[in-house]
Structure 1
Amino acid sequence: MAEVCLQRIAIIGIAARMPRSEGREGLWGLLSEGIDAIRPRDVGRPFGPDRGGFVDDVDAFDPEFFGMTPREAAQADPQQRLALELAWEGLEDAGIVPAPGAGAPRAGVFLGVMASDYADLVAMAGTEGVTRHTLTGVGRSIVANRISYSLGLSGPSLTVDSGQSSSLVAVHLACESLRRGESEIALAGGVHLNVSPLSSKVVDSAGALSPDGTSYVFDERANGYVRGEGGGLVVLKPLARAVEDGDHVYAVIGGSAVGTGSGEGGLTVPSADTQARTITEALANAGTDPSRVQYVELHGTGTRVGDPVEAQALGAVFGASRGTAGPLAVGSVKTNIGHLEGAAGIAGLIKAALCVDRRELVPSLHFSRPNPLIPLGELGLRVVTENEPWPATGGGPVTAGVTSLGIGGSCCHVVLTAAPAAEPVGEAVAGGAPAVVPVVVSAKSPEALAGQAERLRSLLLSRPELGVADVAFSGVVSRAQFERRAAVVASDRDGLVAALQKLVDGRTAVGSVVG
């Protein structure tokens, strides 16, 4: 294979809002515990599939935080509002404080969005409800533009619609922008919400949905996909710059490729040749031999036609190259949260990046016996059905692939590798004992301050490796500082967790201040 070895791109921030999971840690908990997030639609949800993956409180939003009036926010597609929250959370996770101005890095926004459910609702309400905010409220281009405007980002800003592959194609375009020097950092991902009766009817009429509301990916029971919703976003930076800046790198995008082509059966029939060619190009761009890949996150919809075609493509690229490496491990996040359609690709990418970061594979659900049209042994594939350590790498790097496909034939594949080893940083000490440090929490209201304290407390409980000095440093240097603040003084993790709990309860720990 000819090696191209494009400039590698680091994933330095992750934000996710998925069914039954809030944030990156919440999503990892759902995946590692093998939770099926599919459920019946709540009574409070007037529209959407009868059964699917639902995000709670899609109507909840703090417009003032993003400089919007309540009236403007009420007219904005909830996908815009979700995208704004994800952008802020992703930048926070990357330790980047939005600071518009001449010295700010040129930041691009690339967002996959294929749904226009909110525009359907506006049309159903009639022209009487149209206001001066409707134009910017329903336009899909504004989903990306709103992020750039609200956060003062000056790089390219575009919404991508290539069907269900939209969000992974957006990541591909973001990487290209970084490699060209057009952007210095990039936010890439996608959002998708099912809030219109029309969209659910259209998808159901196409015969693509599972009648029992379960995703049986690669299984003999495969009978269609389950609709899901939510969104995800990654913050990207050239790897060399990320290492220089001391960023935490979840995974590295070595290369990617986009291709288009449908099968002989028509526009919506997937093509094994197109998928295989796209995967091969992505591997060539990454300078990675197929035998060096240990895991692929499938598009994996659980349809009778799509699954065998995807398996055939993977077998054509990886099967003959496995040698003594054993079969290629595969899985699909859609078995947990459903098919997020325009945001499906970013869900798969985030899952794969978290697995690479933790060197662990998580189960793909609802698999017992393979589809008879998918001879796993002959294709050199195996479905991951339980938690397991990352497969042996044969002396090479930890490597994964992610595939996403659009209904019209648009195909994208991304190659991920593990981050380079970082130099260990010890806990700050003073006279042989941990230093007493102030941990700053800030927000725009007392209620939001308590919420931020709870998020930090939960993070500490879920991440035992975080040191108090590291948390204190990040709270001052890499977080935006708002007018409502608390300084929680602590010398160890237990003391910090206890002080944060008092802040959540509306009390103040000894030695801490609020103002």
Structure 2
Amino acid sequence: MHSTIYWCVLRMGLFHLKREEYMSETYLVHDKKGQGDIAIIGMDSHFPDASNLHEFWENIMAKKDSLTDITTVSEIEYWSKEDFYDPDASAADKTYGHKAGFVPAIDFDPVEFKIPPAIVDSISTVQLFSLYVAKQAMQDAGLIGQKNQRVNRDRIGVILGGGGNGNTLFSLAGRQQTPYLRKIMIKSGLPEAVVDEVIDRVHDSCFEWNEDCLPGFLGNVACGRIASYFDLGGTSYMVDAACASSLAAIKAAIGELNSGSCDAVLTGGVNLENSAFSFVCFSKTPALSKSNLSRPFDRDSDGIMLGDGVGMLVLKRLEDAELDGDNIYAVIKSLEASSDGKAKSIFAPRYEGQVKALKRAYARAGLTPADIQLVEAHGTGTATGDNTELKSLRMVFDEHKVAAKSVAIGSIKSQIGHTRSAAGAASMIKATLALHHKVLPPTINVTQPGEMLSGDNGPFYVNSEPRPWLRPLNAAPRRAALSAFGFGGTNFHAILEEYEREPRGAYRLHGPVVTLLFSGENPEQLLAKCEVALARFGRASSAGQALREHLAHQDLNGLQPHQARLLFVATSGTQAAEIMASGSKTVEAKE
């Protein structure tokens, strides 16, 4: 099958590669493939009121509402309220929205990114912000800087979700309207000199066409600039799945890793489209909140609020991340998708389609909804969207008889608005940080939960305050699920799991100490429980395993302070068994 010379035909002629070069790391698709777990080894973000990952998490914990009035935004030029705002929803070419999630400006040094300063104005904010955040995410993952040799750069890919072209396209499009303006003014009888002066002023207010304009506004070039700057040779492209774009990109990235085509992928989403055009579009749909409030799952929620943002994650196969000693925030167990198929409207969400994505995700992960403690919902704030999502969640979770009020539900959109192409990335970063910090994060602006959440028997509750995320009683890992849905009926659902690295060597002078409590209504019941536990502890290799075994098998009554009690600490499974045996003898003697 393999000959000594591989001949390839190119437009410019012929060239040949020696067999050993063709089979090198650069060209070979690795045999490391399958459907294994994916590690999140690096992240960074730039969301409203948050220039980095730390500020984003701090704002979540502080329950900060990061939506602001357009008149207060001065860091980045958006649009003038006096030009486009009208509280009358029926006003032509106007928007009744005036608040959104606006991102802070960045201190972008074009020289650092090898971009000539003279052409920066021709490059869209989508590309500039993407470069900036990509660098922080790559640094967080240890793929640049001192540890940058851990992965062959030819095998690192860039796949982002995006759906807009940024700020430069609108300016260039405005410039293209001047011939029509000229005709209108001339037909209106304005003097030629006045017409020329007006056209000149329009041109002066717009970007000027040059050779850098076309690549400067193309969304896909954002991925190309990142790959070029970091000299990455893996797969590079942008995905558009509307408001599910970033989860679509992450799914594609997982595919690259599982196929063996890439060893690491920078992925996520970018959205910088809080333009007047976007506001008018969503006002005329009409999906924009008339109250200018983002309150998913609240009884009085009346629509979405727009938000800008960039969120990026660096992914690796879990086994590779462990071998490389990477910092692992969390593990992606599965990310599955579906389409709504045929429905009354291609724009209306369909719960049957969403259910397919959910069921596929749990089947792929080998889990059930009963294994989930947190759902970071798509939760846009529209009545139709939220109710459809809750209906699909209830159908799947109720099918598995998930305990009442056992799953926290929330939406990051309550704090930063709907970041559209970056929405899935924002949700995944929030859920990942929740697992990493072992905290159930709050959702805000829910005064009275909607009808589907206000009952007593449903599995979900709105988590309005940050709370410690206690490990499930069966000692299973903490797990979260998240969704993103897009116009056109595209649905995605992901399942994440906390990561707890097993120590590879001694890192303490002594083993960790754990506390074990046994309780019975009388000495006989206590002794019976001790006898059952003794056998388990004798097989445990560590105190941690002994504790997990104990928690996995005890019933809730074992935690009650009954009259007969045995409490002790241990540093190993063997020590736990020895103390248990000694304690049992003491109980017998006292009988």
Q: Under TM normalisation by the shorter chain, which class is it?
A: 0.7 to 0.9
In structure 2, how many angstroms separate the alpha carbons of the residues matched to 1:424 and 1:212? 55
Alignment equivalent of 2:158, drawn from 109, 113, 116 = 109
Q: 2:116: which partner in 1?
A: 69
Match of 2:385 in 1: 306
Contact residue 121 and residue 196 of structure 1 kept, 8 A: no
Q: Equivalents in 1 of 2:274, 2:297: separation in Å?
A: 29
Cα distance per residue 1:404-431 (max 9 Å; x no partner): 0102111111110011324289999xxx
Whether 1:149 and 2:256 are equivalent positions in the alignment is: no
Establish whether residue 419 from structure 1 lines up as the match of residue 499 from structure 2.
yes
Instruction: Flag the 1:404–1:337 CA change in 2: closer, same or farther, 3 A.
Output: same
* Matched residue SS, 2:446: coil
Contact 2:110 2:117 in 1 (8 A): yes
Cα contact 1:10–1:250 (8 A) shared by 2:
yes
How far the C-alpha of 1:154 sits from its partner, in A, is 0.5
1:319, distance to aligned residue in structure 2 (A) = 2.3
Deviation of 1:396 (Å):
1.5
Aligned residue number for residue 120 of structure 1: 170
Report the CA distance shift for 1:166/1:301 in structure 2 as closer, same or farther (over 3 A). Answer: same
Aligned to 1:268: 347
**Distance in 1 (alpha carbons) for counterparts of 2:69 and 2:504:** 46
1:53 to 2:132 alignment:
no
Q: Relative to structure 1, is the Cα distance of residues 101 and 389 closer, same or farther in structure 2, using a 3 angstrom cutoff?
A: closer
1:89-118 deviation digits (Å, cap 9, x = unpaired): 001111111769995351111101112342
Contact kept, 8 Å, 2:453 with 2:461, in 1: the verdict is no
1:397 corresponding residue in structure 2: 477
Q: Which amino acid aligns with 2:131?
A: L
SS in 1 for 2:269: strand
Aligned length: 424
Match of 1:500 in 2: none
Structure 1 residue 74 displacement after superposition = 1.4
Please tell me whether residue 359 in structure 1 is matched to residue 409 in structure 2.
no
Measure how far apart 1:353 and its partner are.
0.1
Q: Which amino acid aligns with 1:38?
A: L
Verify the 8 A CA contact 1:227 1:339 in the aligned structure 2: yes
Aligned-residue identity in percent: 30
Question: In structure 1, what residue type is equivalent to 2:111?
Answer: E
CA distance 1:377–1:269, change in 2 (3 Å): farther
- 1:348-376 residue CA offsets vs partner (Å, 9 max, x unmatched): 00000000111101111011222235555
1:164 matches 2:214: no
Aligned pairs for 1:97-496 within 5 A: 97=144, 103-104=152-153, 106-118=155-167, 119-126=169-176, 129-261=208-340, 264-324=343-403, 326-372=405-451, 374=453, 376-393=455-472, 394-423=474-503
Q: Deviations over 1:465-504 (max 9, x none)?
A: xxxxxxxxxxxxxxxxxxxxxxxxxxxxxxxxxxxxxxxx
Instruction: Return the alpha-carbon distance in structure 1 between the equivalents of residues 248 and 292 of structure 2.
Output: 27
AA in 2 matched with 1:205: K
Provide the residue aligned with 1:33 in structure 2. Answer: 62
**Mapped pair 1:82 → 2:132:** no
C-alpha spacing 1:369/1:425, structure 2 compared with 1 (3 Å): farther
Q: Using a 3 Å threshold, how does the CA distance of structure 1 residues 362 and 384 change in structure 2: closer, same or farther?
A: same
SS in 2 for 1:65: coil
Distance 1:159 1:308 in 2: 31
Question: Counterpart of 1:179 in 2: which secondary structure?
Answer: helix
Report the CA distance shift for 1:325/1:248 in structure 2 as closer, same or farther (over 3 A): farther
Per the alignment, in what secondary structure is the counterpart of residue 451 of structure 2? Answer: coil
Q: Does the 8 Å CA contact 2:293/2:305 hold for their aligned counterparts? A: yes
Of 29-38 and 362-371, more deviation after overlay is shown by 362-371
TM-fit CA distance, 1:222: 0.9
1:204, CA displacement in angstroms? 1.4
C-alpha separation in 2, matches of 1:226 and 1:66: 33
Task: Give the secondary-structure state (helix, strand or coil) at the position aligned to 1:63.
Answer: coil
* 1:111–1:159 Cα contact (<8 Å) kept: yes
- What's the CA shift for 1:46? 4.0
> 1:251·1:357 contact (CA, 8 Å) conserved in 2?
yes
CA distance in 2, matches of 1:104, 1:371: 49
Taking the aligned partners of 2:411 and 2:78, their CA distance within structure 1 comes to 29
- Which string of whole-angstrom CA distances, capped at 9 and with x for unpartnered residues, describes residues 299-351 of structure 1? 00010100110000110111242444753211100001110011000000000
1:259: how far off?
Answer: 1.0
Contact in 2 for aligned 1:14/1:235 (Cα 8 Å) = yes
Distance 2:401 2:61 in 1: 27
Amino acid at match of 2:171: L
Two-structure CA RMSD over aligned residues (Å):
2.4
**Are the counterparts in 1 of residues 405 and 458 from structure 2 also a CA contact under 8 Å?**
no
| 2:296 and 2:386 in contact (8 A); partners too | yes
Determine the C-alpha separation between the residues in 1 that align with 2:48 and 2:266.
Answer: 22
Deviations 1:418-462 (A, max 9, x none): 11324289999xxxxxxxxxxxxxxxxxxxxxxxxxxxxxxxxxx
Paired letter, 1:120: F
Partners of 2:343 and 2:458 lie apart in 1 by: 22
1:8–1:100 distance in 2 versus 1, CA, 3 Å: closer
Q: Residues 104 and 114 (structure 1 numbering): CA distance in 2 closer, same or farther, change over 3 Å?
A: closer
* CA distance 1:101–1:390, shift in 2 (3 Å): closer
Kindly provide the amino acid, as one letter, of the partner of residue 109 in structure 1: V
Is the deviation greater in 387-396 or in 24-33? Answer: 387-396
Alpha-carbon contact 1:318-1:328 (below 8 Å) kept: no
Assess if the C-alpha contact under 8 Å between 1:6 and 1:286 holds in 2: no
Q: Describe the shift of the 1:11–1:238 C-alpha distance in structure 2 as closer, same or farther (beyond 3 A).
A: same
Match of 1:453 in 2: none
Matches of 1:426 and 1:114, distance apart in 2: 49
| Match in the other structure for 2:192 | none
Change (3 A) 1:325 1:312: closer
Letter in 1 for 2:292: G
Cα distance change on mapping 1:381 and 1:263 into 2, 3 Å: farther
1:92 equivalent to 2:156? Answer no
Q: Which amino acid counterpart does residue 390 of structure 2 have in structure 1?
A: A
Equivalent residue, structure 2, for 1:454 = none
**Aligned-pair CA distance for 1:121:** 2.3
SS in 2 for 1:96: coil
Q: TM-score, with normalisation over the residues of structure 1?
A: 0.78
Q: 1:365 to 1:9 in 2, by over 3 A?
A: same
Q: Which residue identity does 1:91 align to in structure 2? A: M
Structure 1's 388 and 208: CA in aligned 2 closer, same or farther, altered over 3 A? same
TM-score normalised by structure 2 residue count: 0.68
2: distance between equivalents of 1:96 and 1:427? 26
Aligned residue number for residue 13 of structure 1: 42
- The structural deviation recorded for 1:85 is 0.8
Structure whose alpha-carbon radius of gyration is higher: 2
Give the unaligned 5+ runs of structure 2.
1-33, 81-96, 178-202, 509-591
Change (3 A) 1:190 1:73: same
